[in-house]
Structure 1
């Protein structure tokens, strides 16, 4: 039995986002239990030249949303990237999950060779759909989810591998 592009994308992305939601919830609970201002954690970085926690979540959700819509051959809806609380980030994750789960599998299946063009600061980058998903999107989603996990874990939030895997 072969694996379809839908099966390799939407359910995998949803699982990663749900796990990220769980990690964030533990971060919010930790902040509340320890009387830490949530914005302290949301603005924490692994190192000075990396994005803070809130931006890591925004990028992970943008990557997931962009993947599903581009693979479906649809325009990617934009989001404001203005979340400043754990609750707002949770709402963003839930919204993106709903958006990508709402895409019919048939719109994504067969997109292995669909041309995906990304406009980047360095210029246009072109991919075939399968290369885009496996070589660009999934590594990026996991990178930003891992970085969010690492930020919270580094601040003492009691997280383990099972939290990341979901």
Structure 2
């Protein structure tokens, strides 16, 4: 009597990717679908957008999608506070009046954990990413935390395997 095995052929298990094969570049974690602002937008319009989308700020671009500044909750608060102090109407204030124009950016090919160090040193909450002078994305502290969660269980050092 022949004994038949009901065990099927086993597939070879796929090896887990080594850390150095996992995407850990800023461009792999940055937000690409951005809410952007224009210099001629009114401050209260920006405030409404920030609240509706639960964001703390965003890039300001021109018609060619070139970065010209950053506007944040703090910039809006400063404008509202100044206007109240000087008893000035707020309706006329624009993004161009209050945006930060000296904007630090990061390279999209930078390691996302190197970007974490820059976040800690700079106290910025977000960095725009430019490619050929055009805005292509933005990396935030939350994006870096998401990358860390994806890396959970892997070694942090790509040289270790």
Considering Cα pairs closer than 8 Å and 6+ residues apart, tell me whether 1 or 2 has the greater RCO: 1
Answer with 1 or 2: which has the greater Rg: 2
Higher strand share: 2
Higher helix share: 1
Q: What TM-score results when the alignment is normalised by the length of structure 1?
A: 0.27
